Amino acid sequence: IQGHTLSRYIDSSRKNDPKLAAMIVRKVAKAMEEAHGSGVIHRDLKPANILTGQFGVTYVIDWGLAKVWGEPDIAHPEMGHDEDPALTPVGRRYGTPFYMAPELARGDAHIDGRADVFSLGLILYEILTHRQLINGETMQDANTENMIFDIPTLIEIITEVMTLHPG
């Protein structure tokens, strides 16, 4: 597949086009709608797993951690507290902490498509504000923040975006 990751797009410019960002997020949302309609949860949706190509083509990649609703999850080993939270941990059955829904971070047994929708919201926030909502130097930091961070209100997000993208 030819194209660039959404991570590269975010990193390449501090003046990302909000219309292009909305188009990309809409296409990813449509892909998730299709997957969820088939009973599949991605569980590792993040900018590095979204490719944008020529002519507006957008791909959601790396379905290796996907799960079919209702199927049992295979147990995973305990994660090291000093692992890099920007990466999917080795041996982890799902998720990257910076883009993980709280129910995934907690290890809840019953996960559905809302986890992917939450991750997509975090991605949109990052595209528009040029910063991640969940941060941390280590896995423990990111998981702790994931449990306690305050989700900004829509007005707060719009104000921040308008500051970055006036007009």
pTM higher than 0.85 for the full model? no
Q: Which of 17, 44, 116, 141 is catalytic?
A: 44
As a whole number of Å, the CA-based R_g of the chain is 16
Q: Quick: pLDDT tens for 50-72.
A: 998 888 799 999 998 898 887 76
Confidence band, pLDDT 50/70/90 cuts, at residue 14: low
When the pLDDT of each residue in the chain is averaged and rounded to a whole number, the result is: 80
Q: Quick: pLDDT tens for 86-122.
A: 444 444 546 788 898 888 888 887 889 999 999 999 9
Known active-site residue 82: no
